[in-house]
Structure 1
Amino acid sequence: MPLTIGLLREGRTPPDKRVALTPKKCAEAEAQYPGLHIWVKTSPHRCFSDDEYRDLGLEVCEDVADCDILMGVKEADVSQLIPGKTYLFFSHTVKKQPANRELLRAVLRQRITLIDYELLTNGDGGERLVAFGRWAGIVGAYNGLLTYGRKHGLFALKPAHQCVDMEDMEEEFFKVKRLPPIKMAVTGSGRVAQGALEVLKLMGLRQVSVYDYLYLDFHEPVFTQLRSSDYNRRRDGRVWDTADFHRHPHAYESTFGPFLPVTDLLIACAYWHPAAPVLFTEADTRRPDFRINTIADVTCDVNGSVPTTKRATTIPDPAYDYNRRTGALEPAYSRPDNITVMAVDNLPCELPRNASRDFGRQLLDHVLPHLLGDDPAGIVARATIARGGELMPRYQYLADYVAETANA
């Protein structure tokens, strides 16, 4: 049966350069699914040019309104929504984010079917099938080293967003030769953390155990990976249980204290729940033995697990200083004893071609078979927030969110 997918032009400012399907992935999808045709809305900002799509025989046009399914990356422009269509994008509505309340209202008003990438999982509440997390970790770790190098006048790496792709960025790794015997801690065990670890290993840095990190001195820079059990414990002393930690984060307290006197660069990649403990407090930063001087907050939870993350930063202006004595924010690299924080909230956008290739591969392997087929596992159904002007049953909790006034 003939079916058309339209790739949207990203409408946010500044424009997001990523795309859900690269030219090669579009061609591969058309070859894999007879009757499928993919149209590409023209864009001057996309990391893959219009001509790169045309060169593979794809239709590039200004109007994709006739397509059956419309795919973007970030939230669609409310003014550009087409009634009755099926959309896939990251809607950022399921946590009742105020900024996107009107978007969900418009979806319901216009009887749009909204499928959210974030909700595509391999089971009810299971592992996500498509995500940019690995690239957030890759760019975040690179930015962390870049920030540390700038802060201490050791080396000047080309920003990731000025690199053509990952291969170009790897050429910059050779500049990291004057790194002193510092200690770096990476928190987390998911996609984001794995991306960060990937970069540190590619740089030729040595990974050590948590015990050795805490208690041994080294004559070279080293890093360790900290899982949740390495820096949290139940308040009542019960044995660690990861599933219990995720279900009852309020029952736990931080044990990150021993890492404060031995860590120079913190790369925060762990998912954080608002009820979970923070890594440390602002008061802790004033301790004489607080050693962390550079933080790459890849998760970028403002006022979250890293208390010095007071605001998100941008790709052009990625860092600021936190004054440990006053708690004030100052321009990056203002004083040697400040903590320099990198907290860019859209890190995968710095390597958009790589991130888009990876994302498209995930879509082809794990989502299109269900989206274009019968979806027996309910993967698409679970990720469908709204259809025909109604919230789907599992998202009925959003009813009060869309009913509230905009300034509520």
Structure 2
Amino acid sequence: MIGNGVVGILSESSNKWERRAPLTPYHCTRLLNSGKDKSGVSRIIVQPSTKRIHHDQLYEDVGCEISEDLSECGLILGIKKPKMEMILPDRAYAFFSHTHKAQKENMPLLDKILAERVSLYDYELISGDQGKRLFAFGKYAGRAVIIDLLHGLGQRYLSLGYSTPFLSLGVSYMYSSLAAAKAAVISVGEEIETQGLPAGICPLVFVFTGSGKASFAAQEIFKLLPHTFVDPIRLPELYEMASDLSHPSRTSKRVFQVYGCVVTCQDMVEKKDSTEVFDKADYYAHPENYNPVFHEKIAPYASVIVNCIYWEKRFPRLLSIKQLQDLKRKGFPLVGISDITCDIRGSLEVFNQTTTIDSPFFRYDPLNNSYHHDMEGDGIICSSVDNLPTEFAKEERLPNISET
């Protein structure tokens, strides 16, 4: 069946929010009009869907067939993992499988793929000549994660007794486009600039981990607010200055900006041998020679952490539960964490679950080591939504597939 020129598009059944499609109607037009000799595609069969961002008629209008039955397809494309019964023998599939780190929850899927002699092309593992990922949705994930987090902060701070401009911001899917969402964030920023933030929650410091597309995209949205970026080494100075009520910056009871800090692996770990300096190549090759220091040098000054780093079990954790508990016992200001990686018990041990677009946050109470699904009470709000890009389903598509 593989290579027979018939391509299938799955209807996406992983959850109700997944509205994306691996190919738009325009992509299908190009493939079908190019002819099999050039594109390798003779037919495209699309499973019907009433929630897909591109409705069935648009596909039918460009020559695709609409059918639940994909048994004639040699190549089947999706975004998220399909239902088990949709794994047909001796086919090729392409989707985000989340299996390459041996994620426990997806091992039954991998077993099924192996049993059916399926060729799996995982978008996350497709890379170019320099090893750079070609199919990455990090930009839209980063944009959505920070918008949703700002929305959550508005609710959380209200529960803690503070009214903030963030309270008027919706979550990403509520906006008709990325431009509309950005306009809403800009409006929040204008209110911060004119009305300010309560001094009791300031300095409001957003720590972004990593230097990839997701981190840059989250910073892109963050920069729509009145802000100043601070080097990691200057965080203690910022915190001390803000705590000094006699300092000129604290002559008002309101603060008119937020702060950002970008940290990379050299800020998160240090060599066990204190006579040696950090070396990135050595760290990736021998992480066992490094101790974690994020909990000592960065986390005590963070109000919010946006985690965008790639992590494997061989690396030190960014924050363990014990470290998080110690931070709260000492009264540090951490109020929210968003983990874009969605690794269960990964770089942030507190994440024992992913969250959903319907319910993007859980509350972790470090002092009681308890998890809650509300915004009230002690603790830190945590978000780990594994399909953030679908919140911008209209604009989000597989990267490197041009619409021109």
TM-score above 0.5, yes or no: yes
Gap change, CA 1:27 and 1:202, over 3 Å in 2: farther
Q: Kindly, what percent of the aligned residue pairs are identical?
A: 29
User: Are the counterparts in 1 of residues 208 and 263 from structure 2 also a CA contact under 8 Å?
Assistant: yes
Gap change, CA 1:143 and 1:202, over 3 Å in 2: same
5+ residue gaps, structure 1, are 366-408
Pairing 1:237-316 to 2, within 5 Å after superposition:
237=274, 238-256=276-294, 257-280=296-319, 281-316=323-358
Pairing 1:9-88 to 2, within 5 Å after superposition:
9-14=11-16, 16-31=18-33, 33=38, 36-37=41-42, 38-88=44-94
Report the CA distance between 1:65 and its aligned residue: 2.6
**DSSP-derived class of the 1:175 partner:** helix
Q: Distance in 2 between matches of 1:292 and 1:43?
A: 42
What's the Cα RMSD here?
2.6
Gap change, CA 1:210 and 1:93, over 3 Å in 2: closer
User: Are the counterparts in 1 of residues 81 and 97 from structure 2 also a CA contact under 8 Å?
Assistant: yes
Q: Distance in 1 between matches of 2:363 and 2:147?
A: 18
Tell me the matched-pair count.
360
Q: Which residue of 2 aligns with 1:234?
A: 271
Q: Distance in 2 between matches of 1:146 and 1:274?
A: 31
Report the CA distance between 1:255 and its aligned residue: 1.8
User: Are the counterparts in 2 of residues 147 and 342 from structure 1 also a CA contact under 8 Å?
Assistant: no
Once the two structures are overlaid, the 10-residue window that deviates more, 139-148 or 10-19, is 10-19
Gap change, CA 1:319 and 1:39, over 3 Å in 2: same
User: Are the counterparts in 2 of residues 214 and 262 from structure 1 also a CA contact under 8 Å?
Assistant: yes
Q: Which residue of 1 aligns with 2:200?
A: none
Q: Which residue of 2 aligns with 1:401?
A: none
**DSSP-derived class of the 1:295 partner:** strand
Q: Which residue of 2 aligns with 1:195?
A: 217
Q: Which residue of 1 aligns with 2:374?
A: 332
Once the two structures are overlaid, the 10-residue window that deviates more, 56-65 or 183-192, is 56-65
For residue 100 of structure 1, what is the amino acid of its counterpart? N
Q: Which residue of 1 aligns with 2:103?
A: 97
Structure 1 counterpart of 2:155, from 150, 159, 163: 150
The answer to whether the aligner puts 1:175 opposite 2:188 as a matched pair is yes
Q: Distance in 1 between matches of 2:382 and 2:112?
A: 37
**DSSP-derived class of the 1:253 partner:** strand
**DSSP-derived class of the 1:334 partner:** coil
Q: Distance in 2 between matches of 1:205 and 1:31?
A: 49
Pairing 1:123-138 to 2, within 5 Å after superposition:
123=129, 126-138=131-143
Gap change, CA 1:283 and 1:22, over 3 Å in 2: same
User: Are the counterparts in 2 of residues 130 and 363 from structure 1 also a CA contact under 8 Å?
Assistant: no
Q: Distance in 2 between matches of 1:110 and 1:260?
A: 46
Moved over 6 A (4+): none
User: Are the counterparts in 1 of residues 32 and 63 from structure 2 also a CA contact under 8 Å?
Assistant: no
For residue 4 of structure 1, what is the amino acid of its counterpart? V
Q: Distance in 2 between matches of 1:5 and 1:135?
A: 26
Report the CA distance between 1:286 and its aligned residue: 3.1
Gap change, CA 1:363 and 1:116, over 3 Å in 2: farther
Report the CA distance between 1:316 and its aligned residue: 0.8
Instruction: Identify which of structures 1 and 2 has the higher relative contact order when contacts are C-alpha pairs closer than 8 Å and 6+ apart.
Output: 1
Q: Which residue of 2 aligns with 1:210?
A: 232
User: Are the counterparts in 2 of residues 183 and 213 from structure 1 also a CA contact under 8 Å?
Assistant: no
Gap change, CA 1:84 and 1:233, over 3 Å in 2: same
Report the CA distance between 1:193 and its aligned residue: 1.0
User: Are the counterparts in 2 of residues 5 and 67 from structure 1 also a CA contact under 8 Å?
Assistant: yes
Report the CA distance between 1:289 and its aligned residue: 4.2
Report the CA distance between 1:209 and its aligned residue: 2.9
Q: Deviations over 1:2-44 (max 9, x none)?
A: 8332212223244622211122232244455456343322112
Q: Distance in 1 between matches of 2:207 and 2:169?
A: 21
For residue 18 of structure 2, what is the amino acid of its counterpart? D
Q: Distance in 1 between matches of 2:316 and 2:362?
A: 24
The answer to whether the aligner puts 1:355 opposite 2:396 as a matched pair is yes
Report the CA distance between 1:68 and its aligned residue: 3.0
The answer to whether the aligner puts 1:122 opposite 2:159 as a matched pair is no
Q: Distance in 2 between matches of 1:204 and 1:61?
A: 50
The answer to whether the aligner puts 1:139 opposite 2:144 as a matched pair is yes
User: Are the counterparts in 1 of residues 4 and 73 from structure 2 also a CA contact under 8 Å?
Assistant: no
Gap change, CA 1:71 and 1:141, over 3 Å in 2: same
**DSSP-derived class of the 2:305 partner:** strand
Gap change, CA 1:331 and 1:100, over 3 Å in 2: closer
Q: Distance in 1 between matches of 2:347 and 2:361?
A: 18
Once the two structures are overlaid, the 10-residue window that deviates more, 249-258 or 224-233, is 249-258
Gap change, CA 1:278 and 1:101, over 3 Å in 2: closer
Gap change, CA 1:15 and 1:196, over 3 Å in 2: closer
Q: Which residue of 2 aligns with 1:379?
A: none
